[in-house]
Amino acid sequence: MDLIELRRNVLTLGMSLDFTLRDERGAILLAKGHRIDNMQQLEGLRSRSKIFVEIDESEEGIRAMMEGITTLNNLGAPIKDFSKHLKLNITDPNSAKLTGPLSERWGEVESKLAGLLASVSSTTDFEKKVQQLESHIQALLTENSSASQFLLFNRAVTHFNGYSVMHSLLCASLVHLLAPLFALTDTERQSMVCAALTMNVAMTRLQDALALQKSEPNAIQRREIEGHSAAGKQTLVDAGVTDPVWLEVVAQHHTHLHGPEALADWPPVQRMTKILQTVDRYTAAMSPRKSRTGRTARDSVLSVVMKPGVTKHDEVGTALVRILGVSPPGTYVKLVNGETAVVIRRGVKPNEPLVASVINRNDEPIGEPRLHDTSREKLTIQNTLVASEVRVNLKLEAMLRLIPK
């Protein structure tokens, strides 16, 4: 068995392997055909000093082998020098084009964002690469907004690992969807999305640690939390970011803002910051931690639509309901017939989404999820559920096929 080293950054979240991953002794790490399903699995693979694949198992390996033989012949070099001329040329993960099913492409965006945030101080063209991710997000949401919402929300509300990156990606996607409702220009939208992707760049590791921490933040952690907005702006400046709006939204994303009653009358940077702040609170409320379960979708909506002591509905919170409904795609509900269902897509009315039953009234998994319209009398929603308390393994590609175009 001839092995050749694989660059670890080729591996991305959600990818289906076209080759078997092996260690230096040839032992199987992950077999061909399997998927990299979660960030913990991805990080475990990337943390290894070296990963290998069989040279003749993938198209890239075969191409590399033929190129090596050609080089060997052209040089008239002996066969023992073959390995010197063998180069595995697998697509650079920072290349512009995304390929594969929608779930894999979102996984690739998540992986690329994780890589950028982890290496911000050493990445060349950091600003350009984040803007490229913004373009990917725009393309994926344009292609299939409902399916994208399902993938992002379900991942965010059911997993602890990789919280910081997933939270930023979900926030970036939502502010992108909100931008037209608040008449933002394309340039303003890009700046706001990039700010969402990088707003926690100064505390990515801490944020991931806090998601897995059962206790409240200690004094040192609290100081880092309180200073991360200003530190984030400086980190981005040091990384070469020159967009002043992007930088200012990051700097202000936890600042208490005041302005005219109508958000349209706010200065542009403050308006974009307010949109991001609301999305940040809304998504964070639903996400689980080791120290607590996430809130239900309905409670999360109430926390941003109607603040305590205020009689007027929040504009951004109301806009989120217009886009997502009361229960976003990917979250869970209990139906009046006793079944547990996952929300598939927003319905005609905000509180009447399309859902797929995944657990029957006896709390048993349903083999083939059943699509339901909750506007029907016997299929209405009884209550929303905390996602981390629903014990079911969804087959994502099968669920996406249920979503009406």
Query: Which residue range is the domain that position 353 belongs to?
Result: 332-402
Alpha-carbon span 228 to 123, nearest angstrom? 20
Instruction: Kindly state whether residues 301 and 387 are assigned to the same domain.
Output: no
Query: How many domains in the chain?
Result: 3
Whose CA is closest to 330, among 144, 149, 154? 154
Tell me: do 153 and 21 sit in the same domain. Answer: no
Considering the domain architecture, whether residues 244 and 380 belong to the same structural domain is answered as no
For residues 7 and 128, membership in a common domain is answered with no
Is residue 93 in some structural domain?
Answer: no
The pLDDT value recorded for residue 358 is: 94
Residues 144 and 246 in one domain: yes
Q: How far apart are CA 347 and CA 356, in angstroms?
A: 13
313 with 343, same domain: the answer is no
pLDDT tens digits in sequence order for the chain, 405 residues long: 567 777 776 787 777 787 888 887 778 888 888 888 777 788 788 778 788 887 666 555 545 555 555 555 555 656 555 455 455 444 444 445 787 889 989 988 998 898 899 888 888 899 999 999 999 999 999 999 999 999 999 988 887 778 889 999 999 999 999 999 999 999 999 999 999 999 999 998 888 888 888 888 889 989 989 999 999 999 999 999 999 999 999 999 999 888 888 999 999 999 999 999 999 999 988 887 766 666 777 788 777 776 666 657 789 999 999 999 999 999 999 999 999 999 999 999 999 999 999 999 999 999 889 899 999 988 999 998 988 788 888 888 889 999 987
Same domain, 171 and 275: yes
Confidence at residue 371, expressed as pLDDT on a 0 to 100 scale: 93
Spacing of C-alpha 242 from chain mean position: 25
pTM here? 0.75
381 and 339: one domain?
Answer: yes
Last residue of a domain, one of 85, 110, 141: 85
Residue 300 lies in a domain: yes
pLDDT confidence of residue 310: 63
Same domain, 106 and 173: yes
Helices (H), 99-243: 102-118, 126-143, 145-158, 163-178, 186-198, 204-212, 219-238
Rg of the chain, C-alpha, whole Å: 23
Domain boundary (294, 324, 354) is at 324
User: Residues 81, 124: one domain?
Assistant: no
pLDDT at position 306 is: 64
Distance, CA of 358 to CA of 370 (rounded, Å):
7
Q: Which residue among 85, 111, 128 closes a domain?
A: 85
Helix (H) or strand (E) holding 344: strand 340-345
Per-residue confidence (pLDDT) for residue 93, from 0 to 100 = 41
Q: In this structure, are 118 and 177 located in the same domain?
A: yes
CATH number, domain of 119, equals 1.10.3210.10
Q: Is residue 92 assigned to a domain? A: no
Q: Are residues 11 and 139 in the same domain?
A: no
Please name the amino acid found at residue 211.
Answer: A
For residue 95, is it within any domain? no
Predicted local confidence at residue 92, as pLDDT: 41
Instruction: Yes or no: say if 18 and 59 are a contact pair by the CB < 8 Å rule.
Output: yes
Would you say residue 370 lies in a domain?
Answer: yes
